[in-house]
Structure 1
Amino acid sequence: MSDLQTLPCPTCGEDADFEQPGCVDGHTADGGVCPEWACTGCGTALVIGDVHVPRRETWHRAA
């Protein structure tokens, strides 16, 4: 587990402590920071920061 951070929790309806669970998605494999945080009170998950969004690629077939 990582450091605690106080954030507004949409489920609890107030500021709550959030912690980072161990990253299983590979966000930290190259030294990056995992964007996932979980409320210590209710378990609501938040994604904070820069998240890679896959882009759609167009493939062309040669005739």
Structure 2
Amino acid sequence: MSDRELYCDGCEGVVLFEAPPCVDGHDADCPELVCTGCGAAVLIATFAFPAPRLHHRRRATRTPHRQAA
């Protein structure tokens, strides 16, 4: 079991949270944590967002730059 200290709304303070035995195979990296004080459960999740594509934002009607001779 892994454990970490987090804020618990039920206990109204920072308490020890621990990961219960994980049946999904996450082991110590399980996103499910349980408060050791009141038993409240939290789920820690991360999200990855793809970068937006900017090549469509270019103006198609650009005029070429003139250079002095």
Q: Which runs of 5+ in 1 are unaligned?
A: 52-63
Larger RCO of the pair (alpha carbons < 8 Å, separation 6+): 1
Are the equivalent residues in 1 in contact too, given 2:19–2:32 (CA < 8 A)?
yes
Aligned partner letter, 2:15: A
Mean CA deviation greater in 14-23 or 31-40: 31-40
Q: 1:22 maps to which residue? A: 21
CA RMSD of the aligned region, Å?
2.2
In our comparison, the structure showing a higher alpha carbon Rg is: 2
Shift of the 19–32 alpha-carbon distance from structure 1 to 2, 3 Å rule, reads: closer
Task: State how 1:1-63 maps to structure 2 within 5 Å.
Answer: 2-24=1-23, 26-28=24-26, 33-50=29-46
Query: Displaced runs of 4+ in structure 1, greater than 2 A?
Result: none
Counterparts of 2:28 and 2:21 in 1: how far apart (Å)? Answer: 13
Q: TM-score, normalised by structure 1?
A: 0.62
C-alpha displacement at 1:45, in angstroms? 0.3
Secondary structure in 2 aligned to 1:11?
coil
C-alpha displacement at 1:7, in angstroms? 0.1
Secondary structure in 1 aligned to 2:29?
coil
Identity of aligned residues (%): 38
Secondary structure in 2 aligned to 1:7?
strand
